[in-house]
């Protein structure tokens, strides 16, 4: 069965994206979302959830900028129970723990990274408190705020 979707990378086009979503002609959207770029949280994700649309997240690692440097291990200690092992997995798990998100598509040229990233697709997920706490993540050398 085919699924018709719509995508745009720029918040400048989100109003138009929302207009198409409202027609009922698409079943899925693909939008940018990560701890640094949260523009979709305001209107797009709530509208997608309300309409039951599938959500694919592009640029989940901030086009690589977020994944490049990892915070010190003790900065992530409060989340260890959530069973991720690397910084990239933590960033992906943060996204996939949002119930409005169905799929994240990190790009990689590395088989190792592909394996590492795929493991973030398994539960357990972050609960709301952990997700709120970790939303302070910005760069690998920052601590959550």
Ligand X SMILES: NC(=O)c1ccc[n+]([C@@H]2O[C@H](COP(=O)([O-])OP(=O)(O)OC[C@H]3O[C@@H](n4cnc5c(N)ncnc54)[C@H](OP(=O)(O)O)[C@@H]3O)[C@@H](O)[C@H]2O)c1
Q: Where along the sequence are the contacts to ligand X (CB under 6 A)?
A: 7, 9, 30, 58-64, 67, 88, 105-110, 113, 116-117
**Minimum distance from residue 37 beta carbon to ligand X (Å):** 9
User: Do 95 and 57 contact (CB within 8 A), yes or no?
Assistant: yes
Neighbours of 60 (CB within 10 A): 28
Is the CB of 23 or the CB of 110 nearer to ligand X?
110
Which residue, 10 or 42, has its beta carbon nearer to ligand X? 10
Two tokens, residue 18:
């929302």
CB of 40 to ligand X, least distance (A): 13
Minimum distance between the CB of residue 64 and ligand X, rounded to whole angstroms?
A: 3
Q: How far is the CB of 106 from ligand X (least distance, A)?
A: 4
Nearer to ligand X, 8 or 131 (CB): 8
Strands 103-104 and 5-7, by their bridges, are: unpaired
Find all residues with CB under 8 Å of 134, minimum gap 6, and list them.
Answer: 35, 79, 90, 94, 126, 144
Residue 86 backbone phi and psi in degrees, to 5: -135, 165
For residues 28 and 131, which CB has a smaller minimum distance to ligand X in the complex?
Answer: 28
């Amino acid at each position: 069965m085919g699924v018709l979707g719509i995508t745009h990378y720029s918040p400048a086009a989100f109003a138009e994206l929302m207009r198409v979503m409202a027609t009922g002609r698409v079943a899925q959207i693909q939008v940018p979302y990560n701890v640094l770029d949260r523009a979709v949280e305001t209107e797009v994700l709530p509208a997608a959830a309300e309409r039951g649309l599938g959500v694919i997240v592009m640029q989940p690692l901030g086009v690589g900028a977020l994944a490049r440097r990892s915070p010190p291990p003790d900065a992530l200690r409060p989340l260890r129970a959530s069973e991720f092992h690397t910084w990239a997995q933590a960033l992906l798990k943060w996204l996939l723990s949002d119930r409005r998100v169905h799929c994240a598509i990190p790009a990689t040229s590395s088989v190792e990274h592909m394996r590492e990233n795929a493991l973030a697709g398994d539960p357990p997920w972050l609960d709301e408190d952990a997700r709120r706490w970790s939303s302070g993540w910005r760069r690998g050398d920052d601590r959550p705020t």
